[in-house]
Amino acid sequence: MDYFSNISYMLSHAFLMLFMYLFITHRYSRKATAGVCFTSFMLLNILDCLKLNIFPGSDLCYAAVTITQIIITQSTGIFISSKRNRKVLFMGLSASNYVIVGSVASCILYIYTGSRFIALTGSFVVHLAVLYIVYKVIGELWIKQYETEYTQGWWALCLVPVFFYCSFSAIAFFPNTLYEIPENIPGIVCFMATMFVSYTAVLRYIESESKRKDIYWKNMIFESYIKGLESQYYLVGQAEKNLKVLRHDIRHYSSMISLLLEQGEYEEAKKIIAHINDVTEENKVVRYCNNLIVNAIITKMAEKAENLDIDLRLDLSVPKEIPVNEYEFTAVIANLFENAMICVKELKKERRYIDVKIHCSMERLLIQMKNEYDRELSLDVVTGLPKSQKSEGHGLGMQSVQTFSDKIKGDFDCFCQEGIFYITLFAKF
């Protein structure tokens, strides 16, 4: 039995599972996650026995076992991850590349020293150093990107670690190893350095894109907020103007009412009183809730709905002080409103409605919306959220809502039933 190769592979699998454990937020408890990683580690080692000890000279066995190990490794990352999306696959593929560095170091040290002990010790040190450096340099950056819901373009990014892995394997392991062609050592060392630089550059670029999108959405919210305040200011101005006219004319109305009462014309007097009440009611400024920012956004959305002739059925209870970020909260409301209005604006008049329930307190938050739809809605089998009609994945609006829900540890869900689309966000603080 080739103990050197077995131990070298075992080290790689151990650090591979450690990468998974550290760089993926867990769906299950720490003990359960560690148990899953250990089980995968043992399966990988058992498969190594097949290609290294039982069928050491079979290229077919080597290829079949390697493919099976890749499937087990990536499935482990997806299984333990709290977010089962393409970013998890990117992380799993990248982890496989990082541990290859330690395996290559083991080969290089053995070729130059001829000592298996030095080679294995050096491999362990390199594995540990790579893990430490990667965790310190891009660990925090990666977790930030992993936690965000922006997933567009990550399928293409997954090709980066795939091609790195294939290139590493072709140069260092299969069909010819570094032991057989040691001239490849300088090239693969440069290739490893290129990989580290590439990963850092890619993640920095993704971070800048995420910040740009965040700034875009904040600007959109501020714009809606300002427009909502402008609408309220205009309505208040108009109401003040009309009420001034009413106050000016009230003495005339009072005289007319007194005269009609003296003449016994009670019905006519009632009509004048009703007219005064109507004018007062028409010039009442609508206040949807006690929170100024939320009220401004709702005002703007109600104005849009009125322009589109959409029946907006509101049930709101939002206090002045709320336990979540007001701008993020209003962004969620605005996104859900706009998606619903896009969905119903082409429907017939009797079907053009949106039911909205928003209740927020210091203990819990509930947002429920429902509306009819005509176009086919495609729900993602993993997230359960509707896919964008314009591009792959969810629209930025849904991504923003999902990110907010994850941040407040809420439950965000939607489903279709009998031609009606339901969406719910609930969180208990």
Per-residue pLDDT tens over the stretch 179-198: 888 888 888 888 888 888 88
Q: Determine the pLDDT at residue 264.
A: 77
Least confident of 37-46, 246-255, 330-339, 385-394: 385-394
Beta carbons of 404 and 365 less than 8 angstroms apart? no
pLDDT tier at 214 (50, 70, 90 boundaries)?
low
Is the torsion defined by CA of 165, 167, 173, 179 positive or negative? negative
Least confident of 106-110, 208-212, 421-425: 208-212
Percentage of the chain exceeding pLDDT 70: 80
> Nearest to residue 142, comparing CAs of 84, 80, 204?
204
Q: What's the rounded Cα separation, in Å, for the pair 52 and 14? A: 17
Provide φ and ψ at 352, rounded to 5°: -90, 80
Q: Determine the pLDDT at residue 225.
A: 60
Q: Determine the pLDDT at residue 241.
A: 66
Q: What's the rounded Cα separation, in Å, for the pair 19 and 102? A: 13
The residue with greater pLDDT, 42 or 405, is 42
Least confident of 44-53, 58-67, 80-89, 272-281: 272-281
Structure tokens at 102: 């330690």
Q: What's the rounded Cα separation, in Å, for the pair 411 and 424? A: 8
pLDDT score of 392 more than 50: no
Beta carbons of 228 and 296 less than 8 angstroms apart? yes
Q: Determine the pLDDT at residue 84.
A: 74
Burial class (CB in 10 A: 0-12, 13-18, 19+), 187: exposed
The residue with greater pLDDT, 353 or 391, is 353
Q: Determine the pLDDT at residue 378.
A: 64
Alpha helices in 154-184 (DSSP H): 154-172
Percentage of the chain exceeding pLDDT 90: 18
Q: Determine the pLDDT at residue 283.
A: 53
Burial class (CB in 10 A: 0-12, 13-18, 19+), 5: middle
Q: Determine the pLDDT at residue 293.
A: 78
pLDDT score of 205 more than 90: no
**DSSP string for residues in 390-410:** SSSS--HHHHHHHHHHHHTT-
Mean pLDDT of 125-133: 90
Q: Determine the pLDDT at residue 244.
A: 66
Mean pLDDT of 307-332: 88
The residue with greater pLDDT, 258 or 131, is 131
pLDDT score of 279 more than 70: no
pLDDT tier at 391 (50, 70, 90 boundaries)?
very low
Whole-number average pLDDT of the chain: 80
Beta-bridge partner residues of 424:
368, 413
Mean pLDDT of 308-330: 89
Q: What's the rounded Cα separation, in Å, for the pair 318 and 62? A: 62
pTM: 0.56
State the Cα angle at 252 between 251 and 255, rounded to 5°: 85
Q: What is the pLDDT of residues 74-98, one digit of tens each?
A: 899 989 988 777 888 888 888 888 8
pLDDT score of 394 more than 50: no
Q: What's the rounded Cα separation, in Å, for the pair 340 and 301? A: 11
Q: What is the pLDDT of residues 156-175, one digit of tens each?
A: 778 888 888 888 888 887 77
pLDDT score of 405 more than 80: yes
pLDDT tier at 247 (50, 70, 90 boundaries)?
low
Q: Can you count the helices (H) and strands (E) in the chain?
A: 11, 5
Beta carbons of 309 and 351 less than 8 angstroms apart? no
Q: What is the pLDDT of residues 360-369, one digit of tens each?
A: 999 999 999 9
Least confident of 84-98, 114-128, 222-236, 332-346: 222-236
> Nearest to residue 356, comparing CAs of 367, 347, 365, 345?
367
Mean pLDDT of 42-64: 86
Ranges 58-62, 268-272, 310-314, 403-407, most confident: 310-314
Question: Any residues with CB less than 8 A from the CB of 126 and at least 6 apart, and which?
Answer: 101, 102, 105, 106
Q: Determine the pLDDT at residue 184.
A: 85
Provide φ and ψ at 308, rounded to 5°: -90, 5
Does 175 sit behind a cis peptide bond, omega within 30 degrees of 0 on the bond before it? yes
Mean pLDDT of 130-147: 79
Mean pLDDT of 399-410: 82
pLDDT score of 357 more than 80: yes
DSSP 366: E
pLDDT tier at 393 (50, 70, 90 boundaries)?
very low
> Nearest to residue 177, comparing CAs of 318, 8, 420?
8
Provide φ and ψ at 360, rounded to 5°: -135, 135
* Structural domains of the chain ordered from first start: 3-217 (no CATH), 287-429 (3.30.565.10)
If one counts every other C-beta atom within 10 angstroms of the C-beta of residue 101, the result is 24
Beta carbons of 294 and 330 less than 8 angstroms apart? yes
Mean pLDDT of 205-221: 68
